[in-house]
Structure 1
Amino acid sequence: MSTGKTSAAVGTESTVDTPVVSVADLSIEFPGVRAVDGLSFELAPGAALGIVGESGSGKSATALALLGLHHGTGARVSGRITVAGTEVTAATPEQVRRLRGATAAMVFQDPMSALDPYFSVGSQIAEVYRLHTGATKQAARSRAIEVLDHVGIPDAARRAGDFPHQFSGGQRQRALIAMALACEPRLLIADEPTTALDVTVQAQILDLLHQLRAETGMALLLVTHDLGVIAGTVDDVLVMQHGRSVERGPVGRVLAAPEHPYTRDLLAAVPRIDAPRQLSLADRPTTPDPLVRLVDVRQDFPAGHGLLPGRRRTVAAVDGVTLDVRRGETLGVVGESGSGKTTLARMMVRLLRPTGGRVEFDGTDIGQLPDRRLAPYRRDLQMVFQDPISALNPRRTVGESVADPLRAAGIRDERRIRDTVRDWLSRVGLDPDRYDAYPHEFSGGQRQRIGIARALVRSPRLVVCDEPVSALDVSTQAQVIELLAELRAELDLTLVFVAHDLAVVRQVSDRVAVMHHGRLVELADAETVYTDPQQTYTRELIAAVPVLDPALAAERRAERAALRAAG
C-alpha cells in the first residue's frame, strides 16, 4: 500500500530483532480486583500472538494497557510495557496519543459502538489519518478510500460517504480494520473482532487479518475466548486464567497437546463440528407428531428509507417457509444474519404475527389470532433471548424478573411466588438466596440461567432459544447447553435452537433447518446435514466453521482464497 506517511512515530525502533511488544511483570488493579497479575511476554515484528481465556481472565485488560487506555480510569498499572520503543507506562500523554493509531492500532469487538454514528465512515478514517500525518483533506480522503478498498469494501469511493448504520456488521468490522491500517501501524491489536459475526463473515475477517499481516509485515495480537479462532490466525498462544499466564507456546503444540489443566478444559469445551455428537439435547426419543406446524409462513417488513413519497415497498424476511417441529425434539435453525431465522423463531411463539401463512400450535392456528386471544397459549410458548442483560430490567431484582410470568398468569400468593422462583433459581444452578440481587451482580452465564428460569417458570411446552450462548465463553456455553439438556429431559420440552454457530447446533439438535434469504433451503436430521449437505449454501456454511487444526485451517483459508479469486 502507498502511504504518504510522515516520519516514524515517537520512540520507534529500527532494529528488526527488537520486539514490537515487550511486557514485563505487568499487574493491573481495579478497586477490589487484580485483573492482571505479574504477566510477561514479547511479540516479535511481523509475528502473531493469540491471548485466550474466559471472561475475567485479564486478556482484554492486557490489550487495553498496551495502548495506555487505562490512563485516567482509576486502574493501577505496574510493571513495564514497551510498544515499538515507547515505554507506555512512563510515557507522557502526548507520546501515548502519538503511539495510538500511528504505531499501534486497535480493532474492538463492537464496531457499532467504536464508530461515530453522526459522521460518515470515510470521514472518520480520514480524520485519523490527518491527525497522525498532517495530510490535506484531499489526501486523507484518498487514503480513506484506498484502505476501504484494501479491506474489501465494494465500491469504496461511494461507500466512504455512507454512515455506520448503512454497513452490515462484517462491513463495519472491515471499516474499523481500515481505520486501524490507515497509518500503517507496526502492531494491530484485535480484541474479540469476530465474536458477534456469522461463521462465514468471521472466516472473511480472519482471512483478511492473515492477508494484511502477510502484506504489511505488521505484528498481530489477537484477543479471543474462542480457541477455534486462533488456530489458523496466530503463531503462538498465551493462555490466561485469573490474570496470570498458565501456558504459552506454538499454536499447533498448545492445541494438539496442552500441558495445563485449564487449557485442556477450554479445549474440551469447544464444540467440534468434526467430533461425534454427545448425548445432550440430541438423541432423545421424539415423536413424529408435530407440536408446531408452519405452513407457507411469510413475514414482510418495510424496505427502509429512501423511497419516494407515497410509494410503499416491503422485503420478505421470511418467504414461504413450511416445516414441522416435532414433539420432544430439538430443532436447530441456522443461517447468516438476515437469513430470517430469528424472525421465524419469533413467529413460532407469536411474538410476531405472520404476514401470511399459518402458524399452528398443537393443531390450532394461532398465527392470526388477536393478541387478546393468545393468553391461553402464552404459558406454553416461551423464548430465551440472546442478550440476557438487555432482557432483564436492571432496576428490578432477578427474583422479581423471574416472577413476572407468574404474576401475569394471575397468581397473587406472594409466598407461593417466592417459593416457586427460589426453586427455579436452584434448578438452573443459582443460589436461591440471591433472589433480591440485581442483574449486574451476575456473570453473563448466570444471567442467561436467569433468563432460562424465567422462560421455564410456568412449565411451557415449547421453548425457542435465540442465540442463547453466542456471547458466552466456551466453557460457559457448555454449561448452559448441558443445563438445557437436563431441563429438556426433566420437563419433556420441545426446543428450537437458533444460532449462527454451526458447531454448537450440531451438538444439540435432532434435526437442522438451514435458512437463506428468508427461505428454508435444507431440512434433515443433524448427521445428514453435516455429513452429506445437499445445498451449496449449506456446504459453504460448514466449510467456514473454525477448526482446531492449524494445518487444516490453512488449507481451508487457501480454498476460500481460490474461490474468491475465481468468482
Structure 2
Amino acid sequence: MSDSSPTPSVTAPSVTASSVPRPAVPSPAPVPASAGAPLVEVSGLVVDFGGLRAVDGISFRLEKGAALGLVGESGSGKSTVASALLALHRGTGARVDGTVRVAGVDVRRASDGELRGLRGGKAAMVFQDPLSSLDPYYAVGDQIAEVYRVHTKASRRAARARAVQVLDRVGIPDAARRSRSRPHEFSGGMRQRALIAMALACEPELLIADEPTTALDVTVQAQILDLLHTLRQETGTGLLLVTHDVGVAAESVDEILVMRHGRAVEHGPVSAVLGAPREPYTRELLGAVPRVDTPRTAGRTGPEDGAGLAGDVRPDDVVLEAVGLRREFGRGKRSFAAVDDVSLSVRRGETLGVVGESGSGKTTLGRMLVGLLEPTAGVVRYEGREQSGVRPSVQMVFQDPVSSLNPRRSVGESIADPLRARGEKDEGRVRGRVRELLERVGLDGAHYGRYPHEFSGGQRQRVGIARALAADPAVIVCDEPVSALDVTTQAQVVALLGELQRELGLALVFVAHDLAVVRQVSDHVAVMRRGRIVEHGPADEVYDSPRDPYTRQLLAAVPALDPEVAARRRAERGELSPA
C-alpha cells in the first residue's frame, strides 16, 4: 500500500470563474503575533484544468487546533482546494499557482520526499468514499500498519499494535479482532472510522476531511462528527472540513469559507456566517437547507384539504397497500428478516415518508412495493387488488442514477423503454413523448441523444424521474432520491417531485435517511428499525411529539444550523443510550 493518498478524479465546474462577478469577501479576524505561524496558510490559490479555472484566488489561514469548513455546491472548487493542500494535483496536468504552506512545508515547491513526509505524517486526508480508499484484498489493520511503518520505520509488531490502538481510539469494537477484517466486512460507518484511524496513526497536525459523512445515515453521521470533535479536543489536531452540508459544518467547525465557482463568497466565524450571512448566495444556500424543526414547506398543498390534486380524485382513496409484509434473505440458521410484518397504506396524491438507518429495511420495503422483490409473506395491493411482480402503475426512482442508467445508451433511449414495453411502435411518437418528458422535468428535449456521463448528478436524477413518468404511474417509490446531491440541487429535485405530484395526483413513497427532507415532503411518516415500523403517523405529530425512543434518538442526531444548538444536541446524544 502506498504511503500517499490516491489522486482523486477532479471534475471541473461547468461555469468558468471569469463569468461570475467577484464579491467582496470579509477577511477573518487578524491573528495575534504571539500565536506563531499558522498550521495552514493559503494565498492567491489558483487551479486550472486546461481552459477551465476550478479555483480562482482563494486565500485563508487555519491555526493549530482550529477547524475551518469549506462549504459550497458541487463544482464550487472546495475539494480541489483540499487536494491542493497535499499537492495531489501534481502530475495530473493541472496548473497550480499561488502560495500553499502546510505544517511549515511550502507545498508547491516541496520535493517528492518532502511531500511523502507531509502526506500521512504531518497532514492526513479522509476521503468521501472509504471503499475506494481502502484496498479490498488486505485486512484493515494491515493497511493502517503499513502507513505507520512507512512514516515511522517501526517494526511490524509495533505497527500492528498501533493499528489496533487507533482502531480502538475511533470506536471500533473489539479492535484487535476486527483489525483482521477486510473492508467489505465493515459497515459504512465503520469503514469511515477505519479511514479516520489510518489518518490518525502518525498523529498528524492537520486532518483534511472531504465530505466524510455524505453517504452515512443520520445517526452514524452524528457519531463521526462527534468523534472528530472529540479528537480535536484531545489531540489538538487542526481540521479542514469539506462539505456541501451546511448543517454538518455548523456541528464541526469554528470558521466557514463559502465557495462558489472557484471563488470565496463569504468567510468568517461560523456563528456570524450562518446567523447573519452578508452575501445573497450564502443566504440562498441556507434557504435551501431543509429544517427538521419546521413543518411541511409553507404553501405546499397536502391531501388533507384535497386542493391541488388532479381531476376529481378523492384524497382518502387508498392506491397502494402493504399487509403483513415480510422478506427473508439467506437460508437455514443464516436467514434473517430484512422486513418483518410491515403494514401501511398510501393514498392518491399523498406522500408517505419512510425513514430509518442503513439496514433498517426501508429499501427492501420499497422494492417489494414496486414488485422488484417478492415478499416471503404478506401481500401488496394496488387499488384493492393483490399485486404480483412489476406493474407500470407503480414505478421507482433509484438512489444512484449512474448505476440505474445504462452508460452505453442515450438517456432518451432509457426513457423510451417503458413506452416501447407498452407496445408503442411509432418511433416519431416515442421520440416526441420522450422530448415532452425531458422538458417536463426541466431538461432540454433536444438532449435525447446525450449519454448519462454528460449530465450532472441532479440532471441524471431528473432523467430517472422522467423515465418513471413514461409509464404513466399512479405511484412513484423514491429510494433516497436526493441523498447524493448538494442542498440547492436537492431542493430543486424535491420541488419538482412536489410539482409533479400536485399536477398528476401522484402518490409518493419517499424513502430516505435524511429526516429533515422527509419532513418537508411528507404527509405521513413511518419510522423503521430492524425491519419493523416502530412509529407511524402524521408527519408533524411524529416529529413534534415522537413516542418511540428510537425516533427521539434519530431526531437528536440531525445536524443543527445554530452552533449553540449543535453543541447542546451533541451533549444530549452523549446522554441518550441506544434505543
TM-score, normalising length from structure 1?
A: 0.93
- Native 8 Å contact 1:280 1:507 kept in 2: no
1:295 matched to 2:294: no
- Native 8 Å contact 2:322 2:344 kept in 1: yes
**Aligned letter for 1:233?**
S
Structure 1 residue 70: deviation in Å?
A: 0.6
Residue 515 of structure 1 is matched in structure 2 by: 528
Structure 1 residue 60: deviation in Å?
A: 0.3
- Native 8 Å contact 1:282 1:508 kept in 2: no
Q: d(CA) in 1 for partners of 2:64 and 2:301?
A: 47
Structure 1 residue 283: deviation in Å?
A: 2.1
Q: In the TM superposition, what are the counterparts of 1:347-362 in structure 2 within 5 Å? A: 347-362=368-383
Residue 498 of structure 1 is matched in structure 2 by: 511
Structure 1 residue 313: deviation in Å?
A: 2.6
Q: d(CA) in 2 for partners of 1:36 and 1:529?
A: 44
- Native 8 Å contact 1:282 1:330 kept in 2: no
Residue 219 of structure 1 is matched in structure 2 by: 238
- Native 8 Å contact 2:295 2:540 kept in 1: no
Aligned with residue 475 of structure 1, among 474, 479, 488: 488
Counterpart secondary structure, 1:231: helix
Structure 1 residue 282: deviation in Å?
A: 5.7
Q: d(CA) in 1 for partners of 2:235 and 2:51?
A: 41
Q: d(CA) in 1 for partners of 2:490 and 2:298?
A: 16
Q: d(CA) in 1 for partners of 2:516 and 2:115?
A: 41
Residue 30 of structure 1 is matched in structure 2 by: 49
**Aligned letter for 1:75?**
A
Aligned with residue 261 of structure 1, among 251, 275, 280: 280
1:314 matched to 2:335: yes
**Aligned letter for 1:231?**
A
- Native 8 Å contact 1:280 1:482 kept in 2: no
- Native 8 Å contact 1:293 1:325 kept in 2: yes
Structure 1 residue 562: deviation in Å?
A: 3.1
Change (3 A) 1:16 1:141: farther
Residue 543 of structure 2 is matched in structure 1 by: 530
Change (3 A) 1:213 1:282: farther
| Post-superposition CA distance 1:122-181 (Å, at most 9, x none) | 000000000000000000000000000000001001100011011110000000000000
- Native 8 Å contact 2:295 2:519 kept in 1: no
Q: In the TM superposition, what are the counterparts of 1:317-332 in structure 2 within 5 Å? A: 317-332=338-353
Structure 1 residue 232: deviation in Å?
A: 2.0
Residue 252 of structure 2 is matched in structure 1 by: 233
Residue 8 of structure 2 is matched in structure 1 by: none
Q: d(CA) in 1 for partners of 2:271 and 2:246?
A: 12
Residue 10 of structure 1 is matched in structure 2 by: none
- Native 8 Å contact 2:553 2:576 kept in 1: no
Greater CA drift, 405-414 or 202-211 = 405-414
Q: d(CA) in 2 for partners of 1:32 and 1:492?
A: 46
Residue 346 of structure 1 is matched in structure 2 by: 367
Counterpart secondary structure, 2:268: strand
CA RMSD of aligned residues (A): 1.4
Greater CA drift, 514-523 or 392-401 = 392-401
Q: d(CA) in 2 for partners of 1:562 and 1:214?
A: 19
- Native 8 Å contact 2:170 2:196 kept in 1: yes
Structure 1 residue 561: deviation in Å?
A: 2.2
Aligned with residue 134 of structure 1, among 153, 162, 166: 153
| Post-superposition CA distance 1:272-319 (Å, at most 9, x none) | 01123214666233633321111111000117xxxxxxx653110000
Residue 251 of structure 1 is matched in structure 2 by: 270
Q: In the TM superposition, what are the counterparts of 1:437-476 in structure 2 within 5 Å? A: 437-476=450-489
Structure 1 residue 410: deviation in Å?
A: 1.6
Q: d(CA) in 2 for partners of 1:63 and 1:404?
A: 42
Structure 1 residue 336: deviation in Å?
A: 0.3
Q: d(CA) in 2 for partners of 1:536 and 1:213?
A: 30
Q: d(CA) in 1 for partners of 2:106 and 2:219?
A: 39
Counterpart secondary structure, 2:212: coil
Residue 337 of structure 1 is matched in structure 2 by: 358
Q: d(CA) in 1 for partners of 2:35 and 2:218?
A: 36
Greater CA drift, 520-529 or 405-414 = 405-414
Counterpart secondary structure, 2:576: helix
Change (3 A) 1:280 1:71: farther
Q: d(CA) in 1 for partners of 2:268 and 2:187?
A: 36
- Native 8 Å contact 2:296 2:522 kept in 1: no
Q: In the TM superposition, what are the counterparts of 1:269-418 in structure 2 within 5 Å? A: 269-279=288-298, 283-284=302-303, 285=306, 287-302=315-330, 312-366=333-387, 369=388, 371=389, 378-418=391-431
**Aligned letter for 1:523?**
H
- Native 8 Å contact 2:556 2:572 kept in 1: no
Q: In the TM superposition, what are the counterparts of 1:84-99 in structure 2 within 5 Å? A: 84-99=103-118
Q: d(CA) in 1 for partners of 2:36 and 2:574?
A: 31
Q: d(CA) in 2 for partners of 1:293 and 1:38?
A: 56
Counterpart secondary structure, 1:221: strand
**Aligned letter for 2:348?**
R
**Aligned letter for 1:340?**
G
1:563 matched to 2:563: no
Greater CA drift, 354-363 or 499-508 = 354-363
Change (3 A) 1:139 1:280: farther
- Native 8 Å contact 1:281 1:481 kept in 2: no
Q: d(CA) in 1 for partners of 2:373 and 2:315?
A: 27
| Post-superposition CA distance 1:408-440 (Å, at most 9, x none) | 112111100000000111111011111111111
How many residue pairs end up in the alignment? 537
Q: d(CA) in 1 for partners of 2:569 and 2:556?
A: 7
Residue 161 of structure 1 is matched in structure 2 by: 180
1:176 matched to 2:195: yes
Q: d(CA) in 1 for partners of 2:333 and 2:220?
A: 31
Q: d(CA) in 2 for partners of 1:232 and 1:418?
A: 48
**Aligned letter for 1:183?**
C
Q: d(CA) in 1 for partners of 2:280 and 2:425?
A: 49
Structure 1 residue 563: deviation in Å?
A: 3.5
**Aligned letter for 2:140?**
V
Q: In the TM superposition, what are the counterparts of 1:59-98 in structure 2 within 5 Å? A: 59-98=78-117
Residue 437 of structure 2 is matched in structure 1 by: 424
Structure 1 residue 16: deviation in Å?
A: 5.6
Greater CA drift, 178-187 or 396-405 = 396-405
Counterpart secondary structure, 1:112: helix
Q: Which runs of 5+ in 1 are unaligned?
A: 1-14, 304-310
- Native 8 Å contact 1:318 1:344 kept in 2: yes
Residue 435 of structure 1 is matched in structure 2 by: 448
Residue 4 of structure 1 is matched in structure 2 by: none
| Post-superposition CA distance 1:219-239 (Å, at most 9, x none) | 000000000001121000000
1:106 matched to 2:106: no
Change (3 A) 1:290 1:397: same
Q: d(CA) in 1 for partners of 2:520 and 2:574?
A: 29
**Aligned letter for 1:268?**
G
Structure 1 residue runs of 4+, over 3 Å off? 279-282
**Aligned letter for 2:315?**
T
Q: Percent identity between the aligned chains?
A: 65
Q: d(CA) in 2 for partners of 1:478 and 1:463?
A: 18
**Aligned letter for 2:243?**
T
| Post-superposition CA distance 1:525-565 (Å, at most 9, x none) | 0010000111000010011111101001001111222336x
Change (3 A) 1:280 1:292: farther
Residue 189 of structure 1 is matched in structure 2 by: 208
